[in-house]
Structure 1
């Protein structure tokens, strides 16, 4: 390989790995690969064994309409596909080397009506990946003027193979992480509680939708420069203490976290739950991470409608019993509930006795706790 050829090859390999990070580089990869292999056109394709369809992902050097025409009308004549299905990563199929199959291919409409119209006489396919449900491949086609696949083409294709394979696999892992991250972000945005991911010295790294709204209102949480802060000075001091302990890996914080009561400026009551992220597998890995703790801030109130509906369904409460539970939660004790509903205290006590029997509660406070446990963590949209 001459210095000029080596420079071209190195430049091509660089584009291959760029494509792992940015798929927009793949057309450049295919164009340079086609020139490097002296081909008619090049393709990156995936085949789904279950549906027996070829999903052409990318190509260069051939009109998209010809690819569509091949998939719609001529793919069924391609006997090389079953052969490719049986190959592992790094194995190749050269059309002209399979003499019997090659002669049979030249008698099919695939050749007479499609391949001959673009001058295609040979091709080489390299399997890049072989998952359970199909395969991914790289292919180069040869024009009649270029001749059949020779040792130079095969050698150069195999030089490209390991780089193409690694790029495909890296891209797949990155895509998976993007999907997982997006799914996690969607889940966090669905929470009613404000979620804050913090790093060293309480530096705010990320917040969910409810968290950003909370910061905008300045109700229970706010932002001081880059730091997450609680608007209640006493609670904020406690938060900083807990976060310092979490940052240093202090076991006293515990893997279950710490709850900090917060009284906001509007006198509303909140609770901040701090979950350290330096425990378990992360500590055993002895690695450093930007995020040291997760902070959940939620108003200390019960989302009663959904919670009561869940309680009624779980314990089979009657409509009258549901009204009594709602009264206990919203109004107070038996006398207050009886006065509010215009019934006797004896009636309320009778319903309350049945409720205790169904739920296993012993006191009215137990009912309030049960309703609180039924409250959904999801925001009402």
Structure 2
């Protein structure tokens, strides 16, 4: 039998290369002298989850596995046993004795008909993955074959910590890729130009609106180093603004200071671009959370839009109530008007306003309105 450490290195190598673990898991099945093998990912919410995914690894007809996944997995007595057990190596000869398994509806109505005796003896390893699913690697031997014994269990137990680490790492990468896709789609849909800036000042992402602005070659350009502004004074102002917001991001400064907004002159003579630098606050989540330090919003003053409470909530770290208040103030509604419209007391809104000022660093209401208009321009 192969050395588990060799297979462990292959598992980690596949994760680092960003590839699928299926070839390495198939090698595990072969090392265990299994006739078939597959991996299931079962949501933790239910013993009979409709969202279960099963992937063939070794010598299983995909059509049979698809029928199992769709119609029969919830009736498999071994699945119910696996969900009740602590995560680890599971020998179903002990947990679900062959005599009991042979009497199950699953075996008699599906197993005998579709898998011709294969899959009767099962050895599994289960792992709780970061996306709230259980990953279950299952390998099988036919009904008339030799059951999995102590040697195979010891082999899988030695491999298990590495199997768990590889499956969890693969799951985290899959989640990060999904979040990145959602975030990118959201940024692409925004009318404001948005640049995500790394903690060391380099450009991590520019959305479609900002790329379109840069394509005009009218005072700003995009380079790997970040936003490149044609006007020297604006370039210096942007550098200063990023220094300030990165200080907030690092925790050296608690409140967002003045000086994080700027105008970017346009050589064409069109109204200047309006830019606002904001910190990406720790704990904001998303694929950029650890790498990014700031976002820079760039707006065209000729395309003024009503303030968006949702955008303010996300970018300024406000609660929904605070974001609605800030958007209303920027739209010209005073505290009393908003209190009447929302059915709350002015004192409640004053409390919200104080919280907004603490979060944004704006000392006066006029500064807050200017910040909101720049953010939502």
State the 1:89 CA deviation. 0.7
Q: Deviations over 1:69-105 (max 9, x none)?
A: 4445654653223222211211514236625414524
Give the 3 Å change call, closer, same or farther, for CA 20–40 of structure 1 in structure 2. same
Alignment of 1:266-285 (within 5 A): 266-276=269-279
Q: Which deviates more from structure 2 when the two are superposed, residues 184-193 or residues 67-76? A: 67-76
Query: Structure 1 residue 125: deviation in Å?
Result: 2.1
Q: Give the secondary-structure state (helix, strand or coil) at the position aligned to 1:264.
A: coil
TM-score (norm 2): 0.66
Q: Decide whether the 8 Å contact of 1:230 with 1:236 is kept in 2.
A: yes
1:147 matches 2:146: yes
The aligned counterpart of 2:304 is 303
Instruction: Provide the C-alpha distance between the structure 2 equivalents of 1:201 and 1:103, rounded to a whole number of angstroms.
Output: 63
Query: Structure 1 residues 250, 299: CA separation in 2 closer, same or farther (over 3 Å shift)?
Result: farther
What is the CA-CA distance between 1:219 and the residue it aligns to?
2.1
8 Å contact from structure 2 (residues 214, 222) kept in 1: yes
**1:263 partnered with 2:258:** no
- Show CA shifts across 1:163-191 (max 9, x none): 22111211222222222223222232233
Q: Look up the match of 2:60.
A: 62
On the 8 A contact 1:50/1:133 being kept in 2, the answer is no
Are the counterparts in 1 of residues 38 and 58 from structure 2 also a CA contact under 8 Å? Answer: yes
Q: d(CA) in 1 for partners of 2:80 and 2:241? A: 62
Q: Which residue of 1 aligns with 2:360?
A: none
CA distance 1:134–1:247, change in 2 (3 Å) = closer
- State the structure with more CA Rg: 1
* Contact 1:88 1:130 (8 Å CA) reproduced: no
**Counterpart of 2:343?**
none
2:213: which partner in 1?
Answer: 214
Gaps of 5+ in 2: 285-289, 308-330, 340-364
Conservation of the 8 A alpha-carbon contact between 2:47 and 2:74: no
The change in CA–CA distance for 1:255 and 1:16 in structure 2 (over 3 A counts) is same
Question: Match of 1:16?
Answer: 11
Residues 245 and 256 in structure 2, CA contact (< 8 A), matched pair in contact too: no
Aligned-pair RMSD on alpha carbons? 4.3
Classify 1:212/1:156 alpha carbon distance in 2 versus 1 (closer, same or farther; 3 Å): same
Give the Å deviation of 1:273.
Answer: 1.5
Q: In structure 2, do the counterparts of structure 1 residues 206 and 131 end up closer, same or farther at CA, with 3 Å as the change threshold?
A: closer
Instruction: Give the gaps of 5 or more residues in structure 1.
Output: 283-288, 308-328, 330-354, 361-365
> Within 2, Cα distance between the matches of 1:132 and 1:194?
32
20-29 or 242-251, larger mean C-alpha shift? 242-251
* Aligned-partner Cα distance in 2 for 1:250–1:137: 42
**Residue pair 2:203, 2:223 contacting (<8 A) in 1 also:** no
Mapping for residues 289-368 of structure 1, pairs under 5 Å? 291-301=292-302, 303=304
Match of 2:182 in 1: 183
The reply to whether residue 32 of structure 1 matches residue 32 of structure 2 is no
Q: Distance in 1 between matches of 2:67 and 2:142?
A: 19
Alignment size in residue pairs: 313
The answer for the alignment partner of 1:46 in structure 2 is: 41
Does the Cα contact within 8 Å between 2:195 and 2:206 map onto a contact in 1? yes
Bigger drift between 67-76 and 52-61 goes to 67-76
1:108 counterpart SS class: helix
Mapped partners of 2:292, 2:132: distance in 1:
38
Cα separation, 2, equivalents of 1:202 and 1:130: 34
Matches within 5 A, 1:30-179: 30-48=25-43, 49=46, 51-53=48-50, 54-71=52-69, 74-75=72-73, 78-95=76-93, 98=97, 100-105=99-104, 108-115=108-115, 117-129=116-128, 135-143=134-142, 146-179=145-178
